[in-house]
Structure 1
């Protein structure tokens, strides 16, 4: 049976609200949670971008059973991989083993803030691979010295290391990233229900490991209002990750999506309160081989109504998948 998760979307709510939301998600029966890790929202209308790791630390203390996960952290520019390893180990201790470290090669939107040039995707993948290897080495304990192509680590050691290191999830979008995920990841992460991503992950060593997908939804008893909100805050989704990874700011996303229509968004994001439409949107992930699907409710001020409905109506329907 597929597990259904809840997304703490840091781009659309403040830190206290995000923690309140995941507490409620645990209460209504979501199987796990994930948290975006951004420095900026995609669109100004989303309006938020608190520090994800502070939110996760608070969530670890406010909840008791729901698993937590970054979806995803980039360990190559804004954060040095040695610092990511320390943060993840600490959070695993706070969460008492409920944390998974989701990693990805990043987006210019968030990483340009440190003033570094945004390199080609090939260089980004090189940097990412080296970063994951450093994190894994630090998770093993002991003193780490590393002098690589992109990073130096000098006499680093994690002094507070959990008995079980956080499982590492790796985001994929094509064959090169599937190879990295299969070789270095404990699970795979994707935002599209493509069977070839699951198959690529399994082919490179990921057979039997969790496969986690993510799907935006927009619940509202007024379907027209849901469509308008989804268009206003989530039309950036239409660009695809090859484009989205390159754009540097909300104004660029607004310009790139100015011709995306409401009906275009409604075709890719289930809107309203027809549970069958939501189930139909999740089904392709299940058929593609994903074992977990995290839902993103669009609109920071519309989480409570969604969570109430999900607990009573949506989650029981999705269990049937």
Structure 2
């Protein structure tokens, strides 16, 4: 049966408020949560981007939810440092944490001043990092000399069980490629047929483990307000690759999204004032065999969304 969770958007909400929001989500009936690990937001209008790893410790300690995080080792983070962060949360909160490891975006990684590699190089660097991280989490001493360098690293607190290493995938090619190493896949809402193809590509390439979906949505009591929320907060996120990979600053994202329409935002955000329509759409996603669906209301205020979906949507989905 599909489980439903809350996506905590560090790019849009201050860490103190976001901690209160995830606690509210648990009280409202959400079963789990996830977040992404950004250094910068996608837009100046979003205006936040706290350190996810500090927040995760507080969130895990003050709720009983399971948590996932999407992070990118290799440039901003050395893989041994990420392994230590994963291992620490896994040791403190056994069985309650997983991490999706991606190749990153320049908007977060350019801060090191290092050259931003081509996509294929970033993907190979990620695969090296995954191998290093997995070996460290299994208690090995690791040395490695490649696109990343590791010298006699060892974790002194090894988590049991080891947190799952999940593959984030948006394209068909990435869904097939992460299948070689991942223990589950997470993707984002797209047209149903496109999502079906990504699920099939992952499974046909040998991918195992749970399937997770992050759904960007906007709800408000009126359609006009729901559209306004989505357009104001998420119009910088409508672009296909390589734009989201390669732009370096929120100002750049704001510049390229200046003329984006509400209709364009609707292609990436499920916008409706009708809770029944949201429920139908989420049930359609669940029918594609997603084990976990994380709801991301793209507004900066979460209270009305959490109460409305907790009372009227989540219970109906669980019954279905």
Pair in the same fold by TM > 0.5: yes
Match of 1:233? Answer: 233
* Alpha-carbon contact 1:231-1:262 (below 8 Å) kept: yes
Post-superposition offset of 1:279: 2.3
- Local SS of the residue matching 1:160: coil
Post-superposition offset of 1:320: 4.4
Q: Which deviations, in whole Å up to 9, do the C-alpha atoms of 1:48-107 show, x marking residues without a partner?
A: 00000011011111112x11110x100111101111100001011222320001111111
* Alpha-carbon contact 2:210-2:290 (below 8 Å) kept: yes
**RMSD, aligned α-carbons:** 1.6
* Alpha-carbon contact 1:171-1:189 (below 8 Å) kept: yes
Match of 2:311? Answer: 312
Aligned with residue 184 of structure 2, among 187, 198, 203: 187
Match of 1:131? Answer: 129
* Alpha-carbon contact 2:42-2:237 (below 8 Å) kept: no
Q: Which stretch shows the higher mean deviation, 183-192 or 37-46?
A: 183-192
Post-superposition offset of 1:223: 2.3
What is the 5 A alignment of 1:102-113? 102-113=100-111
Q: Which deviations, in whole Å up to 9, do the C-alpha atoms of 1:109-154 show, x marking residues without a partner?
A: 111111111111111111011110110111110311222x211111
- Local SS of the residue matching 1:164: coil
Post-superposition offset of 1:268: 4.1
Name stretches of at least 5 consecutive residues in structure 1 with no aligned partner. none
Match of 2:160? Answer: 163
The 2-side partners of 1:139 and 1:78 are apart by: 20
The 1-side partners of 2:267 and 2:276 are apart by: 14
The 1-side partners of 2:63 and 2:186 are apart by: 23
The 2-side partners of 1:198 and 1:35 are apart by: 21
Post-superposition offset of 1:185: 0.8
Match of 1:206? Answer: 207
**How many pairs were matched up?**
316
Name stretches of at least 5 consecutive residues in structure 2 with no aligned partner. none
Match of 2:197? Answer: 196
